[in-house]
Amino acid sequence: MTILDGKKISNDIKDEITAEVAKIKKRGEKVPHLAAIIVGNDGASLTYVNSKVKSCKRVGFESSLYRLPNTVSELELLDKIEELNQNDDIDGFIVQLPLPPQIDTQKVLNAVDPDKDVDGFHPTNFGKMALDMTTFIPATPFGILELLERYDIPTKGKHTVVIGRSYIVGRPMSILMGRSGFPGNSTVTLTHEFTKNITQVTSQADIIIIAVGIPDFLKAEMIKDDAVIIDVGITRVPDDSKEKGYVIKGDVDFENVSKRAGYITPVPGGVGPMTVSMLLKNTLLARERHKKRALENKIK
């Protein structure tokens, strides 16, 4: 059994991005700038956004954080998004989810300029991804592809089962794993809460990608020997025996599944660190795209 070490691969990617930023600086060009909008004081969201800011500093990006109160109106948030859309200094930005109930999340995500949508959630970018066109791939699926590629895990002709159909992970993964190329070319089954006899499906899978938010959902008896297990879940489970009062668990019963799996991601330290690195990679791609467009406009 091989652990897919997202922490290590994430650090490798950050080192590569740092080297690219050094070249950009040497040429006297503007370094990439990533911004984030966060609404309210959700603990997990704050931790995640702070790790993005820290990562930007590490690779030499500029970063901006815009904090809005939980009571902010939808119109005020849309105005802030438009402000960032028009700001040429910002290459990419994200709106941290979840948003408070008075705000229509889809309306907000649709308001982000697709050219700055480094989260890859805008319908334009999602559509391009589905058509195998060059675009921003959502950061978590992008990170999973990178893990599979860097560990050289065969995907061609393999049966990939995706558990969970969210537009953030499940649905994009089902499209990406079936695309032409590597990682891809696998036969994909997308499962969800209404899938009957799910063990019958998962026990035939060569690769399982799970993102359902239910701790220990995937059990050892649900997989076949040497399967590749990608666990996207991360849940705080109360545990009074721990100093923090909780433990972090994934969607996979790691202790038992790891005894049968060929490859497996740990939680934490698997997919999570990859998400932040791929967000940085998307921002670097955005910077290159904006530079190319500026040159083309100059020539015109």
The residues assigned a catalytic role are: 52, 96, 119
102 contact partners, CB below 8 Å, separation of at least 6: 73, 74
Say whether 234 counts as a known binding-site residue: yes
Q: Residue 253 CA to chain centroid, in angstroms?
A: 22
Q: Is the peptide bond before 98 cis (omega within 30 degrees of 0)?
A: yes
Place of tokens 């060009």: 29
Residue 150, annotated as binding a ligand: no
Identity of the amino acid at 20: E
Residue 164, marked binder: yes
Binding site for NADP(+): which residues?
164-166, 234
Residues making up the annotated binding site are 164-166, 234
